[in-house]
C-alpha cells in the first residue's frame, strides 16, 4: 500500500555492489503489499522488485520465504524468483532493513474474476501444492485455529461497534471451530493468502503468483478453502456456485482431493472466513484516525462466515464428486 522506507541513490548503489545487475536505470516506489516497502528496479539487465522488509515480517522467516520462491520457480511455478548476490546470498540490508531483489512478473490482477479465472486459479493452486511437496523447510501457520482466540481477545471489547452481533457470532464460531477443526489432513506448503490481488493474469492464463509472505505449512485443503472464500463470492457477497465448481474441479484435476479433505471443506471454509474476519477486525479497529491506509472491511468476511456456518456438505460449496 505504501513505501515506508526511503531508498536513496547512494543506498541503492551500495546495495547493488554485491549483485551483477549492471547500472541502475530507474527506481520507483510501488504501492504493492501492505507489509513491506517495494520498489520497481530497472537495471541494464532487466526489471526487478526490490523489497525492504518492514517490522511485520519477521526476519527469521525470510530465508523460508525466499527459499520457497526459489524452490517453486525451479519447479515451473511462475512466482518472484530471488536474485542472488555474487556471494550466493539472496538477503542483504538497506537502511537497517533486510532487503532482497526478486524478478518482476508480467500480468495484471483481476478485480472481479470471472468463472474462467476461478478455473485458472484452481489449477494454479493445485500445481503450487504439488510443487511445494518436496520443499525441505517448514513454517508453522501463525494465523491458524490456535491463534484465533488471541486475535479475538484483541478486538473483543469493540467488536460490536463494527456490526452488532459480531461478538456473539465469533464467540460461537470459535467454539465450533475448536471442536470440529480437522487435525489429520494432508499437509504441505500453502500460500495462505491467494486472493485475486496476488494472482497475475495475461488474458485468461495465470501468468504468476505473488506475495508469499504468509506462506507456511498447513492443511493443503485449507489453502483451497481460503481461495474458495476469496474468489467465489460475488461483490454482493452471494455465493457464486458456478465459480466454486470451476475452482474446485480445476484444482482436483491438478491434485485430487482425498475424501477426508472433501468432508472437511465446509469447516475449513468457515475457519478461513474466521481468520480473515479476525485479522481485518484487528486492522479495522486499530487504524489511526485520518490515516491514508484503508483497512479492508471485516464485514465482508463476517458475512461469508454467516453463510458458511450453515453449510454441511462440500457439495453446497460446488464440489462435484
Binding residues for a second copy (CB under 8 A): 1-3, 6, 8-10, 12, 23-32, 40, 42, 104-112, 200-203, 288-293
CB of 217 to a second copy, least distance (A): 30
* Pick 16 or 225: Cβ nearer a second copy: 16
- HSE-CB at 233 with a 13 A cutoff on CA atoms is 22
Beta bridge partners of 49: 40, 102
Q: How far apart are CA 38 and CA 53, in angstroms?
A: 9
- The Cβ of residue 306 has, within 10 Å, a number of other Cβ atoms equal to 14
* Pick 8 or 161: Cβ nearer a second copy: 8
* Pick 206 or 224: Cβ nearer a second copy: 206
Q: What is the DSSP string of 32-61?
A: --SSEEEEEEEETTEEEEEEEE-TTS-GGG
* Pick 104 or 307: Cβ nearer a second copy: 104
Strand (E) or helix (H) holding 318: none
CB of 45 to a second copy, least distance (A): 14
Q: How far apart are CA 295 and CA 162, in angstroms?
A: 13
CB of 270 to a second copy, least distance (A): 29
CB of 6 to a second copy, least distance (A): 8
CB of 188 to a second copy, least distance (A): 30
Place of cell 504493492: 32
CB of 203 to a second copy, least distance (A): 8
CB of 111 to a second copy, least distance (A): 4
* Pick 106 or 313: Cβ nearer a second copy: 106
* Pick 136 or 291: Cβ nearer a second copy: 291
Q: How far apart are CA 254 and CA 30, in angstroms?
A: 34
Residue 241 makes CB contacts below 8 A (sequence gap 6+) with 232, 318
* Pick 30 or 299: Cβ nearer a second copy: 30
Helices 115-132 and 220-231, packing angle to 10 deg: 160
Cell numbers at 168, concatenated? 456473539
Q: How many residues does the chain have?
A: 321
Amino acid at each position: 500500500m505504501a513505501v515506508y522506507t526511503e531508498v536513496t541513490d547512494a543506498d541503492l548503489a551500495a546495495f547493488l555492489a554485491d549483485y551483477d545487475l549492471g547500472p541502475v536505470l530507474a527506481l520507483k516506489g510501488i504501492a504493492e503489499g501492505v507489509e513491506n516497502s517495494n520498489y520497481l528496479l530497472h537495471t541494464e539487465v532487466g526489471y526487478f522488485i526490490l523489497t525492504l522488509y518492514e517490522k511485520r515480517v519477521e526476519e527469521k522467516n525470510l530465508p523460508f520465504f525466499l527459499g520457497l520462491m526459489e524452490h517453486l520457480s525451479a519447479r515451473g511455478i511462475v512466482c518472484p524468483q530471488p536474485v542472488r548476490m555474487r556471494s550466493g546470498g539472496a538477503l542483504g540490508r538497506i537502511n537497517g532493513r533486510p532487503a532482497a531483489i526478486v524478478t518482476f512478473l508480467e500480468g495484471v490482477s483481476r478485480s472481479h474474476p470471472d468463472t474462467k479465472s476461478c478455473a485458472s486459479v484452481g489449477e494454479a493452486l493445485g500445481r503450487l501444492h504439488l510443487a511445494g511437496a518436496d520443499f525441505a523447510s517448514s513454517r508453522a501457520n501463525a494465523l491458524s485455529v490456535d491463534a484465533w482466540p488471541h486475535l479475538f481477545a484483541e478486538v473483543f471489547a469493540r467488536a460490536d461497534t463494527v456490526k452488532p452481533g459480531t461478538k456473539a457470532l465469533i464467540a460461537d464460531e470459535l467454539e465450533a471451530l475448536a471442536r470440529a477443526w480437522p487435525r489429520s489432513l494432508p499437509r504441505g506448503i500453502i500460500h495462505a493468502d491467494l486472493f485475486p490481488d496476488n494472482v497475475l493474469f495475461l488474458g485468461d492464463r495465470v501468468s504468476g503468483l505473488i506475495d508469499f509472505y504468509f506462506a507456511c505449512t498447513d492443511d493443503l485443503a485449507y489453502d483451497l478453502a481460503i481461495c474458495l472464500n476469496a474468489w467465489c463470492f460475488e461483490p454482493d457477497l452471494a455465493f457464486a456456485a458456478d465459480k466454486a465448481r470451476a475452482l474446485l474441479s480445476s484444482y482436483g484435476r491438478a491434485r485430487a482431493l482425498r475424501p477426508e479433505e472433501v468432508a472437511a471443506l465446509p469447516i475449513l471454509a468457515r475457519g478461513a472466513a474466521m481468520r480473515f474476519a479476525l485479522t481485518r477486525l484487528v486492522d479495522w479497529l486499530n487504524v489511526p484516525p485520518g490515516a491514508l491506509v484503508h483497512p479492508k472491511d471485516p464485514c465482508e468476511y463476517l458475512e461469508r462466515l454467516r453463510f458458511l456456518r450453515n453449510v454441511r456438505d462440500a457439495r453446497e460449496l460446488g464440489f462435484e464428486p
